[in-house]
Amino acid sequence: MINKIHVNLNFNSYDIYIGSQLLKDESISSFFLSNKNSVIIINENVYNIILKNKLKTNFYNYIKDIKFFLIKDGEYYKNFKTVEKIISFLLNQSYGRDLSLIALGGGVIGDITGFVASIYQRGVNFFQIPTTLLAQVDASIGGKTGINHSLGKNMIGSFWQPKGVLVDIDFLLTLPKKHIISGIAEIIKYAIIFDNSFFIWLEKNLLKILNLHENELLFCIQKCCELKVRIVENDEKENNSRAFLNLGHSFAHAIETYTGYGKWLHGDAVSVGIIMASYLSFQLNILKEDDLFRIIKIFHNIGLPTTGPKNMKPNDYLFLMLRDKKVLNGVIRLILPITIGKVKIFSSIDQNVLLESIKKFQKKYIF
């Protein structure tokens, strides 16, 4: 069965296809892969998996006639140097504005491909075929593209919507468990932000998702996609409610920048970031202690980290968070949970209060 979610953005509208062995549907395969002027952007790891034909879908047969551009695997390579290599390849091959780029991989591939698509000859089409759980539930949807700078994560980028997103759960069969677990962090994020009932469902079903049970997995992916689409349709350029999706990310991006890109998986950093945001909310007498413990417990039970790098000091967090994209006029804007299923943007938290909360958090070893 194929599920389809429409993203209604007027001229930038597109569809998300969710299911298994989706390319067996000729209308889908021709839509995503028929353009003679297409280039697939892929990392070496995913490319080797496809060449070794580990996928049940025999995916390689669908893409063997399309040109590839390989990049190194990892967040470390999400930078201007990689972008320049891709653009140089496209120019040397004389690709014009009728080019379509296909992002085949995880969030890093999607971010880089979308960014290149947004700036190459002032904009070309691109498609998302996410192969990781994190990308399937979050990163591939909504048109956020970007690359990292040594001073901050995702500091250079653009909004550039894909022409379509193909979410095939068969790709997940190729992933190490640690990447499935990392993706689950973003799933939990959606429940904390939007839906207490979904959070309760996750408390009961996370192990089934981890073990890739098809019914629970498809339900979960569709639920997250629907929640994100609703937000993106209302606030495409993140001027208001789309910022909710950054719950925990100010802390998480600080961890990723401090440790060096790629040392921490994004979902692992998000897990710690959400817990730190929840702890701050509790310290401010906003979030109830029972909700805080449930949030910590659900991340802990699935195997996600609940504390940050041991050598990262409170001042390190504050210094890097002050460079975050959500800082306006020197004021840190933080998204904090006020209960499970509801969050709020706070723009008036004193830096000393934030610093003290981080110090207390680091002293408190709950597990």
What confidence tens digit (pLDDT) does each residue in 218-256 have? 999 999 999 999 999 999 999 889 999 999 999 999 999
- pLDDT tens profile 158-182: 999 999 999 999 999 989 999 999 9
Residue where a domain terminates, one of 140, 174, 208? 174
pLDDT at position 325: 67
pLDDT at position 17, please?
A: 98
Tell me: is residue 249 an annotated ligand-binding position. yes
- Per residue in 297-334, pLDDT (tens digit) is 999 999 999 999 999 999 999 999 988 766 766 778 89
200/305 same-domain check: yes
Residue in 122, 204, 363, 364 annotated catalytic: 122
Angle at 225 between CA 301 and CA 292, to 5 degrees: 35
Say what the pLDDT of residue 50 is: 79
Do 224 and 105 share a domain, yes or no? no
Q: How many domains does the chain have?
A: 2
What integer best gives the mean pLDDT of the chain? 94
Active site residue 253: yes
pLDDT at 184: 98
d(C-alpha 278, C-alpha 295), whole Å: 8
Q: What average pLDDT does this structure show over 184-192?
A: 98
Active site residue 246: yes
177 is catalytic: no
Beta bridge partners of 311: none
CA dihedral 291→300→139→261, nearest 10 degrees, is 120
Does the annotation place 109 within a ligand binding site?
A: yes
Report long-range pairs for 283-288 (Cβ below 8 Å, ≥24 apart): 283/353, 283/356, 283/357, 283/360, 284/336, 284/349, 284/353, 286/336, 286/338, 287/336, 287/337, 287/338, 287/339, 288/339
Is residue 306 marked as binding? no
Q: Are residues 155 and 273 in the same domain?
A: no
Distance CA 20, CA 100 (A): 24
Rounded CA-CA distance 119/45 in Å is 26
Inter-residue contact 154 to 147 (CB < 8 Å): yes
94: its two tokens: 């004389």
Q: Is 259 annotated as a binding residue?
A: no
* In a shared domain, residues 8 and 91: yes
Please tell me the predicted confidence (pLDDT) of residue 53.
Answer: 57
Residues 52 and 144 in one domain: yes
Two structure tokens written together for 271: 């897990």
Which residues fall within 8 angstroms of residue 138, CB to CB, at 6 or more apart?
Answer: 107, 186, 189, 190, 224, 228, 245
Cα–Cα distances (Å) from 70 to 42, 44, 194, 212, 340, in that order, read 5, 6, 37, 28, 41
Catalytic site includes residue 237: no
State which residues form the domain around 51: 3-174
Q: Show the tokens assigned to 23.
A: 């390319």
Measured CA to CA, the distance from residue 26 to residue 202 in angstroms comes to 34
- Distance from C-alpha of 280 to C-alpha of 290, rounded to nearest angstrom: 14
| Same domain (yes/no): 139, 160 | yes
144 is catalytic: yes
Domain ends where: 174, 189, 205?
174
